Structure formats: structure tokens, C-alpha cells
A and B are shown apart, each in its own frame.
With several copies, the nearest count.
Chain A
């Protein structure tokens, strides 16, 4: 029988089922008010060295306010799950906040182009990385959400992506088929932006869920930012719309426009001008430094950032964009 291959990438977050089960056993399951502030949540749950994962899809439904606060508090040596990490990666790279990354997709901003700052950071030698794919990372969350230490899948096989991953080949005990086994990934902290949730953290998400239901279950701690807080009764009225239940959640913060400049289904479209501004500023290191200082480090909170970006009037335009409405025609 041929020898099964083993990826030679570093496994940053080895999964221990018993340790993990014990953690979830002890985790609070009571319905308590979890409202807090972004600075408090970052202070409490994200000490230097924490392995974090960002919900959404890079420029879609991301927790921008929490990412900014990580920069503001000068967090260092974080681990990052690069499950299509675009603008989130761009923010964290600007602060050189992480030093290890499970990569599926980083540096790029999809159709918008590449972030020079992120690229340089990944080329600098300051970041250790291991290769994966989007599905592989999503299945790694899924495995942890299921409470199993691995899942078999048929991706990465035969490629250098596998070679530089920490996956291992296994054979199906029934068919003999070869699979890539991907190890469960249980991030220390997930930050997820949602449409609405109650003060206990029961969340509803409209549009695509991406990997967030699994991510919330997989993670030891979950910080939720929400467009709006709703009464618990609203959650209980349609419990099949709950995508993340309270028992996964540690902190809840109401942050309207909290995915800006990213897109938020039925709320606001991405601000492509602002994304372009980031990419433009990145061309000159000094200008970029000043940009980050002005927009993030020197702003007290996310509302101030939104004001710098055009405030309510701009948000209003983005709502029209999202709804494909042209306000100039009747």
C-alpha cells in the first residue's frame, strides 16, 4: 500500500477534544445580558497572542469596529484564520497585529486588486503561515462545531497547497478512497457582525451565512456586533431564523453600519470609493501611516470613523446602492 502523505505545514491550533469539551461544559449557558462596548470586549477577550477568526467574507458582513479596536489597542502576535480574509486582513496587517496565519485567501481584495501593505507584511518574514483552502478552513470550523477532531474531504489532494498545509491523507474505511483529513480548528475568539440579536446574543443573519454558524460554535469565545439589538421576544417569534444561539456568545455590541466599508445584505452596499482610498493610500507608506492614524488610531470609536467617511449622508447613499435604487429618478 502506498504511503499516505502528510502536509508539512505547522498546525497553529492543535485540537484537543477533551480540553475543548471541558471548556464548553464550563461555558455559561444562562441568559444574561451580554451588552458591552467594543473596547471592553477587545480588552477582555483578545489579549496579545490570541488566535482570532473574523466572520463574514472579507469585505462582506465583517466586524470592522472590532478590527479597528484591535489596532487601536495595539494588539500583537495574534493568530489569524485567513478564511477569505480581505479587508479584515488589510486592517490587521496595517497594525502588524498577527504573526501567524492559516491562509486560504489573504492580501487580495477580490475584484478590487491586492493590498500592497498586506503583501509586504506576508513577504517580510514576520508572519508564519500554513496553506489551506476556503473549504478546508470552513470544514475545519465545521469539525470543531461538530465536536470531532477531523473531517475527510477531497480538496487539496495532489497539490503544493496540501504539501504546505497541516492536512493528512487518510483512506475511507468503506471504499478505500483517498481523502484529505483536515484537523478541527477552534479559534480562541471569533468576531461576527450580524443583522440583529438580543442582549443574550441570539443572532439572526440575513443573506448568506458563509461559515459563521459553524465558526460561532467552533470558537471558545464569540464577540457579536449587530446592526441592531432586538427584544428577546422577536427572536422567540421565529426561532428557526436564529443562526447563532446565545450559548455561543460572550459579548454583544450594537454597531450600526458595523460592516462598513464592507457590504451588509439589504442594509448597505460596500463603499467602493473608500476601498479604493485604502488601496491608493497604501502606495505611499507615509501617507498610509497618516491615513491609519487619522481614520483609526486617532478616532475614539467607530462612529467617528463613519463621520470621517461621510457620516449618515454617505450611509444613506450606500443604502440606495444596496437596494439598487437610483435616488435621482422617480
Chain B
């Protein structure tokens, strides 16, 4: 068995979550690596959209920007930002991958600011970009993030992107589309989902060598646990080979793990 780091593990786990024949709006970094790996192994028909306007590329290497010319490489379409966003708004986009500085138990994400005064933030982050858009439109929100107490918080300082907001029914009440919302969270410790009536984050699978205690210790809110707790299979040799040789040979992303 080949050794692997946490970044490689997260990418491999993420790559296995996408159904073949589905579509995904992905960002640079981990999402692109996961999307490329998924296409090569599990979802050859995964249709990739980038928020700046490209769709259906044959990705030669990792883009640095969701708008750079890697995203249009041999793509089927090179269009507009609204073309991608409107495809999402009319229901065409299955998955999106998002991140953030904070996430709460309902999957709400903060990538805007830390502090309690919007106009005088302790720390200011970039803001939504397309995150709120894709998190509002896409059917299933995937989050890939390192697991840490300061990230997994009881209440995010700012809801940049909607998870289940205040709980079951809140998205629909807010005016968001039916059937959309947080789907899975993939961390360096576990796979989590929201597949319970409370729409709260729950552990469903522990990565190799990780204990439930460890996950709870790194989570800043009361974590639910699925009835049947699985073990995440570690990255296969093939996954790692493709990831290292074909997808990220320069270690741009996996070097951070």
C-alpha cells in the first residue's frame, strides 16, 4: 500500500462521491483535482462547468483560476458567467464543491468575515464569489475542508452561502429551490452528511486510523453520528498514481497535504 497524505486522501474520497453522467460546477484546487480523478476512474461522463463560463473541457492540467484558459482547453463551450449560473438556476448542475473559513452544523458556510460587526471585520475574506450562487442553485453541495474546531463552529460569524440555514424547511422558506442543499463534507478525518430529519451534520465514515472521538474533538458543535458508521477505504494505488502522475505532477495541490 502506497503512503498518502491528507490532501491526497480528501481528493480521492471526493472523487468517489460523484455519479457518472452527472454535472459539477467546480473551483480550482481540490475540486478540480477531484473532478479530474472522478472523470478518469469513476465518472467518465462527468460534465464539468466552471463559473466563469467554460463547460465540458478536457483538462490538461490544473487551472489556477476558474476563468483561465485551462478551463476552456478543448472544452465544448466557452461562454459567459451567467451561462453557467443560469444553467445552475434552471436545475442542470448536480454538484458543487465549496469551502470556507467556517461551517456550522447545518452546513452554512462563511467565506466573508470573522467578527461580529460586518463593517468592521476582525478578518475580512474574499466574500461569496460564486459560492452563494452555486450553493443556492446546485442540487448537492459538497464541502472539502480540513477538520478543525475553529472551522466547524456552532454558529458561523456570517452566512456567506446557504447550507440548511436554520434547519429543515428553512431553505424553501427563504425562497431557495426544493431539493437542494448540503450533501457531503469531506475532511481529513471523516466523511459527513446530513441524511437525517434534523438536516444536521453527521459522521458517516471514518478515515483510516481515525477515531470518532478524534472527529468530535475537532468539531465545535454537537455532531450526530450515522446509525451505521463506515470505514473510509484508503486511496487505492491507482487513484494515487493518477493523481500524482497525471493530475498534479507538480504537486501544486497535493503538496499542501
Given A107-B126, A153-B89, A269-B68: A25 and B94 within 8 A (CB)?
Answer: yes
B125 contacts A by Cβ under 8 Å = yes
Contact status A60-B68, CB under 8 Å: yes
**Closest beta carbon of chain B to A290's beta carbon, Å:** 26
CA distance A154 to B172 in the complex (A): 11
Given A160-B112, A164-B118, A247-B92: A210 and B132 within 8 A (CB)?
Answer: no
CB-based nearest A residue for B177: A21
Number of residues on chain A facing chain B (CB within 8 A): 93
**Closest beta carbon of chain A to B48's beta carbon, Å:** 11
Convert A155-179 into 0s and 1s, putting 1 for each residue whose CB lies closer than 8 angstroms to a CB of B: 1111111001000010000000111
Binds B, one of A37-45, A46-54, A234-242, A296-304: A234-242
B178 contacts A by Cβ under 8 Å = yes
**Closest beta carbon of chain A to B102's beta carbon, Å:** 12
Contact status A133-B132, CB under 8 Å: yes
> Which residues of chain B have C-beta atoms less than 8 A from A125's C-beta?
120
Contact status A157-B65, CB under 8 Å: no
Contact status A179-B175, CB under 8 Å: yes
Convert B80-106 into 0s and 1s, putting 1 for each residue whose CB lies closer than 8 angstroms to a CB of A: 111001111111101000000000000
Contact status A135-B127, CB under 8 Å: no
CB-based nearest B residue for A4: B175
B131 contacts A by Cβ under 8 Å = yes
CA distance A42 to B8 in the complex (A): 47
CA distance A158 to B175 in the complex (A): 8
In the complex, which residues 124-144 of chain A have their Cβ closer than 8 Å to any Cβ of chain B? 125, 128-129, 131-136, 138-139, 142, 144
Given A107-B126, A139-B82, A169-B175: A270 and B68 within 8 A (CB)?
Answer: yes
Contact status B165-A158, CB under 8 Å: yes
> Which residues of chain A have C-beta atoms less than 8 A from B21's C-beta?
28-30
A317 contacts B by Cβ under 8 Å = no
Contact status B64-A104, CB under 8 Å: no
Majority-rule SS of B interface residues:
loop
> Which residues of chain B have C-beta atoms less than 8 A from A245's C-beta?
55-56, 76-77
**Closest beta carbon of chain A to B91's beta carbon, Å:** 3
**Closest beta carbon of chain A to B53's beta carbon, Å:** 3
CA distance A112 to B64 in the complex (A): 7
Number of residues on chain B facing chain A (CB within 8 A): 84
**Closest beta carbon of chain B to A210's beta carbon, Å:** 5
B130 contacts A by Cβ under 8 Å = yes
Please pick, from A179, A242, A269, the residue contacting B77 in the complex, using a CB distance under 8 A. Answer: A242
In the complex, which residues 38-76 of chain B have their Cβ closer than 8 Å to any Cβ of chain A? 45, 47, 51-56, 58, 60-69, 71-76
CB-based nearest A residue for B110: A160
Contact status A156-B29, CB under 8 Å: no
B159 contacts A by Cβ under 8 Å = yes
> Which residues of chain B have C-beta atoms less than 8 A from A31's C-beta?
45
In the complex, which residues 110-163 of chain B have their Cβ closer than 8 Å to any Cβ of chain A? 112, 118-133, 136-137, 139, 158-162
CA distance A214 to B81 in the complex (A): 11
In the complex, which residues 193-226 of chain B have their Cβ closer than 8 Å to any Cβ of chain A? none
> Which residues of chain B have C-beta atoms less than 8 A from A154's C-beta?
89, 136-137, 175-177
Majority-rule SS of A interface residues:
mixed
Please pick, from B51, B68, B158, the residue contacting A263 in the complex, using a CB distance under 8 A. Answer: B68
> Which residues of chain A have C-beta atoms less than 8 A from B61's C-beta?
324
Contact status A210-B89, CB under 8 Å: no
> Which residues of chain A have C-beta atoms less than 8 A from B127's C-beta?
82, 103-107, 131-132, 161
Please pick, from B91, B129, B176, B178, the residue contacting A24 in the complex, using a CB distance under 8 A. Answer: B91
CA distance A239 to B65 in the complex (A): 18
CA distance A174 to B81 in the complex (A): 25
> Which residues of chain B have C-beta atoms less than 8 A from A61's C-beta?
67
> Which residues of chain A have C-beta atoms less than 8 A from B90's C-beta?
20-21, 24, 144-147, 217
> Which residues of chain B have C-beta atoms less than 8 A from A265's C-beta?
69, 72, 78
A56 contacts B by Cβ under 8 Å = yes
CA distance A108 to B23 in the complex (A): 26
**Closest beta carbon of chain B to A266's beta carbon, Å:** 7
B2 contacts A by Cβ under 8 Å = no
Contact status B74-A236, CB under 8 Å: yes
**Closest beta carbon of chain A to B231's beta carbon, Å:** 31
A29-B22, A208-B54 given. 9 additional CB < 8 A pairs?
A21-B177, A105-B126, A108-B126, A123-B122, A134-B81, A161-B161, A208-B78, A236-B75, A324-B61
Q: Can you identify 5 A-B contacts, CB atoms within 8 angstroms?
A: A135-B133, A217-B87, A235-B76, A242-B78, A263-B69
